[in-house]
Structure 1
Amino acid sequence: MSLAFLLAALAVVVTPGTGVAYTLAAGLSHGRRAGLVAAFGCTLAVVPHLLASVTGLAALLASSPLAYAVVKYAGVAYLLYMAWAMLRDKEAFTVRPESEPRPALRVITTAVLINVLNPKPTLFFVAFLPQFVPAGSTDSLGLMLQLGGAFMALTFVVFAAYGVCAAAVRDRLLARPRITTGLRAVFTASFVGLSARMAVA
């Protein structure tokens, strides 16, 4: 596996997007465990995009404006729903007892939906992975799956770091009501902004 691939993948993973925003929000709202679970959910969401790219579904999205639009606007609608839910939840950024963790399945489901309903990663894999598969390779599928696995590993490590760092400053930040209100507004605006960016992509 080339260093060029690892560096390029790292640059993509580190760049803030919907998954990063959700992982940070989970870590700040519910602590380290929720941040790590959100990171796992976002990593798990890579699997459908990877499978779509190697099975040809990505070609359908690329060639069918209608199919692409359906997936894209479903993602836009879900991000707007997340923004509304964040704004509506007055306890989104309150320090809660560790004995009351947010259900892991709920965190994972939300993380997966946020990322799966974004068609851009699928098209990214189509354009990105083949560049690192040697021409004429007899096992191009295996190599693409291997690269996809490395991409997922990087995704989990980076997102877990985001979640843990958010949880580390949680008590300090959330002890101040004004900061709590500001954080809720920031993440609400982030989800709205990300939905707008997806809509015009």
Structure 2
Amino acid sequence: MDPQTLTAFFATALFLAVVPGPDNVFVLTQSALRGKRAGLWVVLGLCTGLLVHTAAVALGVAALFERSRVAYELLKYAGAAYLLYLAWQSLRAPAMRVGDGEGARGGAGKLYLRGIVMNVANPKVSIFFLAFLPQFVDQQAGPVTLQMLALGATFIVATALVFGALALSAGAIGRHLVRSERAQRWMNRVAATVFAGLAVKLATAQR
């Protein structure tokens, strides 16, 4: 794949991982309440769950690219609509706090499993991947499945880096990120702009 495409994708994934949401708030909660190791186990579980979504989306989207122009067009516009919905949700999103995260009891194994279940059981992740990953695929660059897997792996790396940093610095950064309503408002506005831009890019993409 084109290094510039991967770089742009990685930068976007890093930013989206920072935007406050249930997953990173849960990481912050566990890190703040139970220590850095607990947060890191949750991060590992969440990233493991992303592997499942990546494989499912890679195989499914590759089939659509190869077999059906109509299905591809439907997926494209549905994905663009979903990204616009995410942009609207970002603009309307209320401030989140550490106390909003759901707690979890148990050892490292239970925290790791909880992270997997939280991610795999969330259909929004697959929908987001369906809308997000295909925009960076170039059919001239090689097998679509391999490109999707590479993009998914890149997204997982970005998520691990950001969530890991949040877990390790849950004290200072976590308090500022989750308790500063002004910072969250600005981040949500930027996220809305990113989602809207991705929606336009996807809607105008050619097969």
Q: How does 1:73-152 map to 2 (within 5 A)?
A: 86=103, 103-152=107-156
Tell me if structure 1 keeps the 8 A contact 2:25–2:101: no
Secondary structure in 2 matching 1:158:
helix
Secondary structure in 2 matching 1:53:
helix
| Equivalence for 1:95 | none
- Aligned mates of 2:33, 2:173 — CA distance in 1: 11
| Equivalence for 1:18 | 22
User: Following TM superposition, by how much is the alpha carbon of 1:136 offset from its aligned partner in structure 2, in angstroms?
Assistant: 3.8
Tell me if structure 1 keeps the 8 A contact 2:26–2:102: no
How many positions carry a matched residue from both structures? 139
Deviation track 1:48-90 (CA, whole Å, cap 9, x = no partner) reads 1112212329x9xx99xxxxxxxxxxxxxxxxxxx7974xx8x
| Equivalence for 1:9 | 13
The one-letter code sitting in structure 2 at the alignment partner of 1:20 is N
| Equivalence for 1:73 | none
Secondary structure in 2 matching 1:33:
helix
| Equivalence for 1:187 | none
Is residue 160 of structure 1 aligned with residue 164 of structure 2?
yes
Measured at CA, do residues 136 and 156 of structure 1 come closer, stay the same or move farther in structure 2, by a change above 3 Å?
same
Instruction: Give unmatched runs, 5+ long, in structure 1.
Output: 64-82, 93-101, 174-182, 184-201
User: Following TM superposition, by how much is the alpha carbon of 1:5 offset from its aligned partner in structure 2, in angstroms?
Assistant: 0.9
Secondary structure in 1 matching 2:12:
helix
The one-letter code sitting in structure 2 at the alignment partner of 1:10 is L
Tell me if structure 1 keeps the 8 A contact 2:47–2:160: yes
The one-letter code sitting in structure 1 at the alignment partner of 2:58 is V
| Equivalence for 1:47 | 51
Secondary structure in 2 matching 1:56:
helix
In the superposition, the TM-score normalised over structure 1's length comes to 0.59
The one-letter code sitting in structure 1 at the alignment partner of 2:19 is T
Is residue 56 of structure 1 aligned with residue 64 of structure 2?
no
The one-letter code sitting in structure 2 at the alignment partner of 1:103 is G
- Aligned mates of 1:137, 1:44 — CA distance in 2: 27
Tell me if structure 1 keeps the 8 A contact 2:137–2:148: yes
User: Following TM superposition, by how much is the alpha carbon of 1:8 offset from its aligned partner in structure 2, in angstroms?
Assistant: 1.6
Tell me if structure 2 keeps the 8 A contact 1:44–1:112: yes
Instruction: Give unmatched runs, 5+ long, in structure 2.
Output: 65-73, 76-99, 180-207
Q: Percentage identity across aligned positions? A: 31
Measured at CA, do residues 25 and 46 of structure 1 come closer, stay the same or move farther in structure 2, by a change above 3 Å?
same
- Aligned mates of 2:25, 2:46 — CA distance in 1: 11
- What's the Cα RMSD here? 3.3
- Aligned mates of 1:103, 1:13 — CA distance in 2: 25
User: Following TM superposition, by how much is the alpha carbon of 1:27 offset from its aligned partner in structure 2, in angstroms?
Assistant: 0.3
- Aligned mates of 1:128, 1:84 — CA distance in 2: 26
User: Following TM superposition, by how much is the alpha carbon of 1:169 offset from its aligned partner in structure 2, in angstroms?
Assistant: 8.4
- Aligned mates of 2:160, 2:102 — CA distance in 1: 25
